[in-house]
Amino acid sequence: MPYKNIEVLKRDGLAVVTVNRPKALNALTVETMDELRSAFLDIRHDASVGGVILTGAGEKAFVAGADITELKDLDPPGAQDYARRGQHVLSLIESLPKPVVAAVNGFALGGGCELAMACHIRIAAEGARFGQPEVKLGVIPGYGGTQRLARLVGKGRAMQLCLTGDMIDAAEAHRIGLVNAVVPPEELMAAAEKMLGAIVAQGPRAVALCIEAINTGLELDLASGLKLEAGLFGLCAASEDWSEGTAAFLAKRKPDFKGK
């Protein structure tokens, strides 16, 4: 379907979703978030798509934050609804049973940093910048920044970034574990495709269950997480991919996974 604020390109079993408002540094509007929701729901149910790259149009920004013109007149109930709607979209991305790689090509600030953190893996161009600068506007992150950031980089670093509103460069983001890799700008999309290709070559059912185990297990104590893992491991044993993968290994050939 046609979109106004994003572009979706599907090819070779992958989808590239691009936030396409470069003149506004790809700032997130309510309409943009609705389009992202629609696109990821479509991808979730499209059997031809094995994984997703999420990026921003232009050379300056991945997503530079929310569109402030939509925030300034919100009352408390409206602000809470605004946050919950955005959180729902990012949770949809995070829980997608297909790998999502963020190709961060520039500023990833506020809602942009939150959007990147909802992806399963983040690869950044050398010139990328990250931050949660909401306190500089007298507000706090509303799309999950206070929660996902602490889970990714730890409480102390999350406190520092959220309370100061400071930006960090890609090298520092990599050092603290916010991003998985940093590459030259001209290599960003190729690196994201390589990473995604390495994942989608594996058993699709196993990949989906790994995503579920990690996402859900983070909210549990260790004993409960291990119980969850064992249950999902058992589900794998009921799949055709389990039989194919083990047979291929023993036969010393490449497996032909069907995602069943």
- Residue whose pair of structure tokens reads 């997480």 in the numeric block: 225
Tell me, yes or no, whether 189 and 210 share the same domain.
no
Handedness of CA 242, 248, 252, 254 (dihedral sign): negative
- Under 8 Å between Cβ of 121 and 195: yes
Q: Give the span between the Cα atoms of 151 and 232, in whole angstroms.
A: 23
89: which 2 tokens? 């979209």
- Under 8 Å between Cβ of 102 and 119: yes
Tell me, yes or no, whether 231 and 129 share the same domain.
no
Residue 182 belongs to a domain: yes
Tell me, yes or no, whether 51 and 70 share the same domain.
yes
Query: Is residue 172 among the annotated active site residues?
Result: no
Catalytic residue among 134, 186, 193, 244: 134
Q: Give me the number of domains the chain comprises.
A: 2
Tell me, yes or no, whether 104 and 190 share the same domain.
yes
Domain range for 232 is: 204-251
Tell me, yes or no, whether 196 and 217 share the same domain.
no
Residue 259 belongs to a domain: no
Query: Is residue 134 among the annotated active site residues?
Result: yes
Please state the rounded mean pLDDT for residues 171-199: 97
Q: Please, where are the H alpha helices in 103-201?
A: 111-118, 145-153, 155-164, 170-175, 188-200
Last residue of a domain, one of 184, 200, 216: 200
Catalytic residue among 114, 172, 187, 212: 114
Nearest alpha-carbon partner for 151 in 86, 196, 222, 214:
214
* pTM: predicted TM-score of the whole model, two decimal places: 0.93
Tell me: pLDDT of 240 over 90.
no
Confidence label for 71 from pLDDT (cuts 50, 70 and 90)? confident
Q: Give the span between the Cα atoms of 99 and 207, in whole angstroms.
A: 8
Last residue of a domain, one of 176, 200, 224: 200
Tell me, yes or no, whether 126 and 235 share the same domain.
no
Confidence label for 246 from pLDDT (cuts 50, 70 and 90)? confident
Residue 223 belongs to a domain: yes
Tell me, yes or no, whether 148 and 106 share the same domain.
yes
Residue 190 belongs to a domain: yes
Tell me, yes or no, whether 122 and 230 share the same domain.
no
Residue 212 belongs to a domain: yes
Query: Chain-centre distance of CA 140, in angstroms?
Result: 20
Residue 219 belongs to a domain: yes
Question: CATH number, domain at 136?
Answer: 3.90.226.10
Tell me: pLDDT of 1 over 70.
no
Confidence label for 173 from pLDDT (cuts 50, 70 and 90)? very high
List pLDDT tens digits, range 97-126. Answer: 999 999 999 999 999 999 999 999 999 999
The burial of 4, by beta-carbon neighbours within 10 Å (0-12 exposed, 13-18 middle, 19 or more buried), is given as exposed
Contacts 24+ apart (CB under 8 A), 226-235: 235/209
62: which 2 tokens? 């991945």
* Residue at 74: amino acid letter: L
Tell me, yes or no, whether 80 and 104 share the same domain.
yes
List pLDDT tens digits, range 206-239. Answer: 999 999 999 999 999 999 999 999 999 998 888 8
